[in-house]
Amino acid sequence: MNATPLPLAWVTGAAGLIGNCFVQIAPRFAPGWRVRGLTRRDFDLTDFNDLRRAFDADRPALVIHCAAISSNPACQADPPLARRVNVEGTRVLAELCADASFVFFSTDLVFDGRQGSYLESAEPNPLGVYAETKAEAERVVLRNSRHLVIRTSLNGGTSLRGDRSFNEQMRQAWAAGRTLSLFADEFRSPTHASVTARAVWELAIQKAAGIYHVAGTERLSRFEIGELVAARCPELKPHLDRGSLKHYQGPPRAPDTSLNCDKAQGQLSFRLPGLRAWLAANPGVPF
């Protein structure tokens, strides 16, 4: 007698940092699912007809949507493309998942950073094209009361390309002999991508819906984050300058987008760590 096949989960953006983590940890944390990690080699998410054909062929029971144009400069340089990928692509996927579970990855940058320790109920006020597209896509996703929006912060880790995480980008700068000037008065809630992926697998399996914040539980400045990464790679002779938003003259930046994760914590089987705690507990993991 043939066994019933396991339900299928799509993970878009599987070549990226968090998307790849979802695929890698699935055998341990989502053993009840078949997982298909999707990259640009599979199909172009902006070719909506091709996307619909692939969805109809696979009929996934769950879509975890990590793919996006997430670079602020890239979004600022081409707002129509950013909107097509981040908003319209999300809209098509959400509509295809009308009767399936859908998880959308958003960002702490939907907030203007004037408050910090943001709850899920706080009103977004995005600064810049990237954040604007994510805030708009959130509204699209939340039209379906069964769908899930995850807001996260800076995620570290090891990516397939070696340049997708904040720690990898810092290491590359130091390897090239550059000094990093990092703001001591701009705050985020950094975490490791594996923590994010584990937490979101749990929430998705529970069929959580609405908005959840999943990030590190320690508020750290950009400069403090740099110090933590520098301590893990002394062989690169890392150099840091303490900068300040007071002297910054570029596009608007949000000074404090730290997230309150109590809502998610109440539904998870493990404690969300701060970045310092994660690094202390994983001394041998590349970072």
Highest mean pLDDT among 71-75, 223-227, 251-255: 223-227
Mean pLDDT of the 78-96 span: 96
Confidence of residue 1 (pLDDT cuts 50, 70, 90): low
- The pLDDT tens digits for 122-137 are 999 999 999 999 999 9
Q: Alpha-carbon distance 286 to 61, whole Å? A: 34
- The pLDDT tens digits for 226-267 are 999 999 999 999 999 999 999 898 888 999 999 999 999 999
Mean pLDDT of the 185-197 span: 97
Q: What is the pLDDT of residue 43?
A: 78
Fold classification of 8-281 is Rossmann fold (3.40.50)
Q: Alpha-carbon distance 105 to 137, whole Å? A: 10
- Percent of the residues in the chain that have a pLDDT greater than 70, as a whole number: 99
Q: Alpha-carbon distance 279 to 245, whole Å? A: 27
CB-based contact 215:257 (threshold 8 Å): no
Task: Among 116-125, 139-148, 159-168, 229-238, name the one with the lowest average pLDDT.
Answer: 159-168
DSSP 137-189: HHHHHTTSTT-EEEEE--EES--SSS-SSHHHHHHHHHHTTPEEEEETT-EE-
Q: How are beta strands 62-65 and 8-12 bridged, if at all? A: parallel
Q: Alpha-carbon distance 286 to 213, whole Å? A: 26
Residues 6+ apart with CB under 8 A from 30: 9, 201, 204, 205
Q: Alpha-carbon distance 203 to 201, whole Å? A: 6
Instruction: Determine the residue type at 81.
Output: L
- Has residue 33 got a pLDDT over 70? yes
Q: Residue written as tokens 């970045």?
A: 275
Find residue 241's DSSP bridge partners.
181
Q: What is the pLDDT of residue 251?
A: 86
Residues 6+ apart with CB under 8 A from 29: 197, 198, 201, 202
**What pTM was computed for the model?**
0.95
**Mean of the per-residue pLDDT values of the chain:** 95
Q: Alpha-carbon distance 243 to 222, whole Å? A: 9
Mean pLDDT of the 87-114 span: 97
- Has residue 42 got a pLDDT over 70? yes
Q: What is the pLDDT of residue 162?
A: 85
Rounded alpha-carbon distances, angstroms, from residue 260 to 194, 206, 229, 242, 264: 19, 20, 23, 26, 9
Q: What is the pLDDT of residue 2?
A: 59
C-alpha torsion sign, points 272, 275, 281, 282: positive
The tokens of 60 are what? 């996934």
